[in-house]
Structure formats: structure tokens, C-alpha cells
Amino acid sequence: MAGMNEDAQWIVMLGFIISIILIFLALIVNQSALIGKTTSESVLEFPKSEIQDARAEIMEYYWNGTLDQSDLEQYLYNITLERKGTIIWYDYNRAAGTLFIHYNDGSTEYNEMVRDL
């Protein structure tokens, strides 16, 4: 087009680019406010007591000598899945003397192998 004025097209374009960059920065800064994790949230999120409790219950059956004869696996699995949405199961091998414990609550997964039982 003959009369189109092409003056200052670079400045305008660069100004435009910089505005977009600043918008982008503002977006990131804004998002970080939500992503930052406070210590209490981390403590609440990690299921320390649940894992200690499940281990204590399994070991209680072990010390009674009834770990492989009981329905504990069924209780643990069904009740936690229904009430808390977590998976707890274990596998006890009496001959080899090993116990494998698995815990998964969706954000934390815990596996443990106890030997020399």
C-alpha cells in the first residue's frame, strides 16, 4: 500500500514484545505464590503416623506368632481402601524370614523389606 507509514515499526514491535514478556513474568510470579509449600503442609502430607501404625499392627501379629494364619492382610487392605483411600498390604514369607510391607496413599509410596525374622 503506497501511503502506509512504516516509521517506528521496530520500536512498536519491541515495545509489544517487552509487554508480553512482562505479562509472562507477572504470571510466573503469581503462580509461585500458590506453588510454595509451607513446612506444615509437608508435615501433614507425609503419612508418618499411618505408616508407623500399620507397621506396629503387623509386628504385633508377628510377635504373637499368628502373622501367616490371620486375615490381617484382608482387614488392612479392605478397610483402608474404603475409609481412607490408601493401599496397605504385606507379604510374609515364614520360610525365608522376610516381610515386605507396601503403603501407598496417592502422594507417598512406602516399601519396606524386613529380614531375619
Contact segment (CB under 8 A) with other proteins among 66-74, 92-100, 104-112 equals: 66-74
- Shortest CB 108 distance to other proteins, Å: 15
Q: Which of 68, 83, 91, 99 touches other proteins (CB under 8 A)?
A: 83
Contact segment (CB under 8 A) with other proteins among 29-37, 92-100, 105-113 equals: 29-37
Q: Which of 40, 107, 115, 116 touches other proteins (CB under 8 A)?
A: 40
Backbone phi, then psi, for 43, in 5-degree steps? Answer: -65, -40
Terminal Cα-to-Cα distance of the chain (whole angstroms): 88
- Annotate the chain with DSSP letters as a single string: -TT---TTHHHHHHHHHHHHHHHHHHHHHHHHHHH---HHHHHHHS-HHHHHHHHHHHHHHHHHT-TTTSSHHHHHHHHHHHHTS-EEEEEEETTTTEEEEEEE-SS-EEEEEE---
Is residue 117 involved in binding other proteins (CB under 8 A)? no
- Shortest CB 105 distance to other proteins, Å: 12
Residues that bind other proteins (CB under 8 A): 2, 4-11, 14-15, 17-18, 21-22, 24-25, 28-29, 32-33, 36-41, 43-44, 49-50, 52-57, 59-61, 63-64, 66, 70-72, 74-76, 78-80, 82-84
